[in-house]
Amino acid sequence: MDDLDTQVLRTALAWHAAGDAPVLVTVARTWGSAPRPPGSLMVIDRRGRTWGSVSGGCIEDDLVARVREGGLAAVCARGLPEVQRYGISAEEAHRFGLPCGGTIELVLEPVGPRSRLAELLEALDARRSVERRLDLARGEVSLHEGRRDGVPVLGEAMLTTWHGPHARLLLIGAGDIADFLARMAPALGFEVLVCDPREERRAAWVLPDVPVSAEMPDDLILRLRPDRRTAVVALSHDPKLDDLALIDALQSEAFYVGAIGSRRNSETRRARLREHFDLGDAELDRLHGPAGLYIGSRTPAEIALSILAEVVAAKNGVALQRGADVAGGKAQAEAGRSTPDGLTAPVCGL
């Protein structure tokens, strides 16, 4: 499943092919509080249909009303990109639901062959990062290799945006936790791939939209070469499979590498990877084990939620507080239940 911005690009391309004359709307700049960050995308067509979001509703409603009253010329009068600012005055900020007098600046771009959306999507599907430059005076786009993301730059003559491949989640082991992760992660824009060479596990997999590879985990990791938009989580409960995945994943560019297991098993795993596979401190420090945030999870669904929360935090560059992970959280919980004489206090004081 694509992330929302990629869905917007695909929808814009499909609506153009159907003759619906879409306009691509990009949040170029914001001042003060704004509901959607710079770089957010939306598409609107000549019938007032929309996909995506630039404000959470109010600005979208205004654009739809203008299109329905005056056609696309009401938002792009010259048939070329236009810059539109909302929320300049307190009255407008209140009208369009911008909190605290915030201001948002949009670039509205008629979609056509010069937009080069098909080429952009092809690059994203190939997991390449692209810098997209829109000439505001002519409506022409040029594409260049670039970083995966960044804040848009709007000048007098050019809008520059950055687009990267959507996040990818590789799961080792086709068990219950993988099932719940594979159900949750696509809603957050992750492409999910499961790897399990065990025939009986693959036979029990019930999600047809999530592929399951029969490759050995190390072969899969080496083939896919995880990039900085890839997370790898070992879930098989079989050290032979999990270790094979972790050895190569920890030496890749993956932004997150984790493995389930108890705290004792996690320490044993680290020692095993160090002793038998010659992984050093730099690689082992990247390993999240036990994977996940401490939320008192007990069921497979709760464990999956815990893991996915930690993966999303890592993707978004959030530095978690000490003790937020499973190992730290459990240690703090146990310390909090310890009585002065060293006995363990009953839960809830019962």
pLDDT at 74: 87
pLDDT at 347: 35
Which domains are delineated in the chain? 4-163 (no CATH), 168-332 (3.40.50.720)
pLDDT at 96: 62
Chain-wide mean pLDDT for the chain? Answer: 88
pLDDT at 114: 95
pLDDT at 305: 97
Is a pLDDT exceeding 80 seen at residue 244?
yes
Of the candidates 113, 118, 87, 112, the residue with the CA atom closest to the CA atom of residue 100: 87
First CA to last CA distance, the chain: 47
Of residues 340 and 132, the one with the higher pLDDT is: 132
pLDDT at 99: 55
Q: If you average pLDDT over residues 103-131, what whole number do you get?
A: 94
72 pLDDT tier (thresholds 50, 70, 90): confident
Of residues 73 and 107, the one with the higher pLDDT is: 107
Give pLDDT tens digits for 178-211. 999 999 999 888 999 999 999 999 999 999 989 9
Alpha carbon 54 to chain centroid, angstroms: 18
Of the candidates 42, 49, 45, 55, the residue with the CA atom closest to the CA atom of residue 16: 45
Residue 349 has which token pair?
A: 């004081």
Let me know: does 10 contact 121? Beta carbons within 8 Å.
yes
Residue 164 has which token pair?
A: 């990267």
276 pLDDT tier (thresholds 50, 70, 90): confident
Share of the chain above pLDDT 90, in %: 66
